[in-house]
Chains A and B, each alone.
Chain A
Amino acid sequence: MPGSHPALHSAPVRQAPKGMAAAISILVFASTAQAAGDGSGARITDKFAQPAFAELQRAAAATEQEIGALCTAPSAEALAKAQGAFAELVSAWGKASVLRFGPLADEHRMERIYFWPDPRGIALRQVQATIAGEDESATSSENLAQKSAALQGLPALEFALYGSGADDLAGGAAAYRCRFAEAIAGNIASIANELLAGWADGTDFTDAFTAPAADTEPYRSAGEVDAEIVRALSTQLRFVHEAQLLPALGADIGKARGKRAPLWRSELTFVLATAQLDGVRDLLNAAGYESAVAEETSWVPGAILFEIGTARVALDGIETVPSDAFADETARDKIAFAGFTIESAAANITEKLAAALGLIVGFNALDGD
């Protein structure tokens, strides 16, 4: 009978579970309509989403233009300018990509701009094959938009501009590669245009996000909007850690593999990660939760911002190139510390921030269960 073995016991009802940490998701049942234009969704649209996607669009168009100039008049300087534009594009993407719902979730736009994680190196294989085969159909952004997501976005463009053989771009010996790179940048600019249009005032999505009501889709209440924001914040933080830092970090220093990190060829790995953290910070700030939650929980957004800032400082302080950093003791410590604070911030978002916003915490609706 129960009790006959020390490991088996009866279970009196005890206190509410604590520390559900990774094991929660957000469910919303409240359906109070948000007055038009004064909620978190309206603030985010105005202060963060529209400017962030406008910057993404600008940076993509600038990259396309610089690569076009490189193709027309190849030189080391033109290549450097194209690469500089690419770095700005990576930063713009890092910030905007926290908005992974709505327009970015449609039409596979997220993966088409940033095909990651890619543990099997699909992008590398496809890009190399495209360049080697000089596939003409990949040199127009319209055609490219119909091809594999792995060929369409930043990882593909990075290889074109920085991967083996990219030096030939400066000398004019890589005309095809240059046109391919230009098409990728053009495709990203087109997708950015679509994102900007999707977030424009007056679309069905923006109406629902800024003024949710019983008859709006996909959000019917302010609580559903807040649940989406909370999910986006925590998902982006976990993505930075789990998909970008952890795989390269490995279980110990002997298993570190910097080339599993994104954008190591351009040495933009940590530029991307810090921009992503900035996006989380800016989204959280734009949401204005500090004044929206009750006084006793008004410290929560600030505490999360502090953790994000701490992680950012750690990553920003890495002086080793990304391909070596994960196996470098000093840099590795900074990466691991950043990972720890990122996870902590994510846990605080799904637990404390969600609770402060009155979102009901569910136990059973996690992806993959």
Chain B
Amino acid sequence: MSSGNSLPSTEDDGPLFLGARLNSGSHEVAVIDEHGRDLLVLPVPARGHSFAIDSARRRAVAFGRAPGRFAVAFDIDGGSAPHAIAPPADRHFFGHGAFTPGGRLLLATENDFGAGQGVVGIYDAGKGFARIGEIASGGIGPHEAVLLGDGKTLCVANGGILTHPDYGGQKLNLDTMQPGLAYIDVETGDLTDQVFLAPELSRLSIRHLAIDALGTIWFGCQYQGEPAQRPPLVGRHRRGREPELFAGPDETLKAMNNYVGSVAVDASGEIVATSSPRGGLVAFWDAATGRHLGNRELADGCGVAPLERHHVLATSGRGAVTDLSPGATGLLLPPAPGRPAWDNHLRRMG
């Protein structure tokens, strides 16, 4: 479906945001501006999840939702044809990935379901995204992975949950889960550092990551244990230390309902936003202290990405696009039945 619509210009170099969504029964990925206006829409074969972004080349890769059988590399400005990327038959994507600096390599979290181990697939962007190898993710069920500021260390959230496509969405190892963070040197493939949550939190699956202004990893969790237990769902990790967890106020923790869907920092990296679509809220945290700063309501809200200092752009499954800060909601597009349902993640480019 081509369009004669006049599209907003991107030449002012304002930030762009990428998200997957469901629109009238069709799956697509969209690039929007900071006002929530569509700049580019690309149909995809199934439900999308998150993106790897190569800002230098203004290129991104959209990953299919786990168990993902597709990824699509595309030009953010729509300049060239999208390029399909498929995982090997005995692997599937988990929905997240990252580019190495300069966009040379694409790294994707994947399931080696035959071995029941997580891997990071390596794809050469210069060779049509040919898969040139893989490295162990350091655990089971790797989900989000982010490249640290040194440009060569990949931090992987190994959620710990074993799945196999033969068993649909069933979780196969709840009694032996060992969620943790793995730090991998992507040049050598070496596991340079690894931390696990305490044994009593073995069912607290670490899934989503963001890096704050000081380079500290922030993570959001989903609890697989007894629903009545409410462990903290938000934490941070500084290399060389143990992971720290922040519970926040009891009411916030209860509202989050054992589920954080996405994690982002604001544009300054000073505050952290964690969304809970089950709780219909985005919670804010002070990155320096872990102090809870406040919540904003957003029904079925999940996508969060840096917008300005102390602000994030957030999207919802009901079509809302909103500017959130710890004390204010600036609704850009209200939720409405006819609007596209935004999927879990929103990513910023530029």
Contacts and interface: CB of A to CB of B under 8 A. Distances in A.
B343 A363 contact: yes
A14 B81 contact: no
Contact of A362 (B79, B222, B300): B300
Which of B174, B278, B342 neighbours the largest number of chain A CB atoms within 10 Å of its CB? B278
Given A2-B7, A27-B299, A238 B30 contact: no
Interface in B95-130: 95, 116
B277 A246 contact: no
B22 A20 contact: yes
A10 B43 CA distance: 10
Nearest to A257: B166
B77 interface: yes
Interface in A262-281: none
Interface in B31-46: 38-43
Interface string B308-350: 0000000011100000000000000000011111111000000
Interface in B1-18: 1-3, 5, 7
Contacts of B169: 238, 242, 367-368
Interface string A1-41: 11111111111111111111001010101000000000000
Nearest to A205: B228
A369 B344 contact: yes
Given A7-B81, A15-B338, A105-B227, 14 more contacts: A3-B3, A5-B81, A9-B1, A13-B340, A14-B24, A14-B338, A29-B299, A106-B228, A242-B169, A362-B278, A364-B277, A364-B344, A367-B222, A368-B171
Interface in A35-71: none
Contacts of B340: 11, 13, 17
Contacts of A179: none
Nearest to A9: B1
B264 interface: no
Contacts of B301: 364
A2 to B, nearest CB: 4
B175 interface: yes
A254 interface: no
A16 B299 contact: no
B7 A13 contact: no
A7 B174 CA distance: 41
Contact of B337 (A4, A16, A29, A241): A16
A365 B3 CA distance: 33
B40 A2 contact: yes
B164 interface: yes
Interface in B62-81: 65-66, 74, 77-81
Contacts of A148: 175
A8 B31 CA distance: 11
A125 interface: no
Contacts of B170: 117, 239, 242-243
A246 B226 contact: no
A365 B222 CA distance: 10
A51 to B, nearest CB: 24
B277 A362 contact: yes
Contacts of B261: 364-365, 369
A13 B5 CA distance: 13
12 contacts: A1-B7, A2-B78, A7-B43, A14-B23, A16-B337, A17-B340, A20-B341, A27-B277, A29-B299, A101-B227, A363-B277, A368-B171
Provide the main secondary structure of the chain B interface.
Answer: loop
B172 interface: yes
A106 B30 contact: no
B168 A10 contact: no
Nearest first, the 4 closest Cβ-Cβ pairs linking A and B are A242-B168, A363-B317, A364-B277, A11-B41
Of the listed residues A7, A18, A118, A238, the one surrounded by the most CB atoms of chain B closer than 10 A to its CB is A7
Contacts, number: 168
Interface residues of A, number: 54
Contact of A17 (B24, B30, B171): B24
B302 interface: yes
Given A117-B172, A119-B164, A362-B278, A10 B41 contact: yes
Interface of B: 1-3, 5, 7, 22-25, 28, 30, 38-43, 47, 49, 65-66, 74, 77-82, 95, 116, 161, 163-164, 166-172, 174-175, 222, 226-228, 259, 261, 277-278, 280, 299-302, 316-318, 337-344
Contact of A9 (B2, B74, B164): B2
A259 interface: no
A178 B89 CA distance: 45
A7 B82 contact: yes
A50 to B, nearest CB: 21
B15 to A, nearest CB: 17
Contact of B163 (A17, A18, A239, A368): A368
A309 interface: no
Nearest to B301: A364
Contacts of B77: 1-2
Nearest to A250: B166
Given A5-B80, A363-B300, A365-B259, A149 B28 contact: no
Contact of B23 (A2, A17, A25): A17
A18 B42 CA distance: 19
A17 B66 contact: no
A6 B116 CA distance: 40
A119 B166 CA distance: 10
A322 interface: no
A5 B172 contact: no
A218 interface: yes
A324 interface: no
Nearest to B1: A9
B172 A10 contact: no
Interface in A140-198: 148-149
A125 to B, nearest CB: 13
Given A3-B3, A11-B38, A363-B341, A117 B78 contact: no
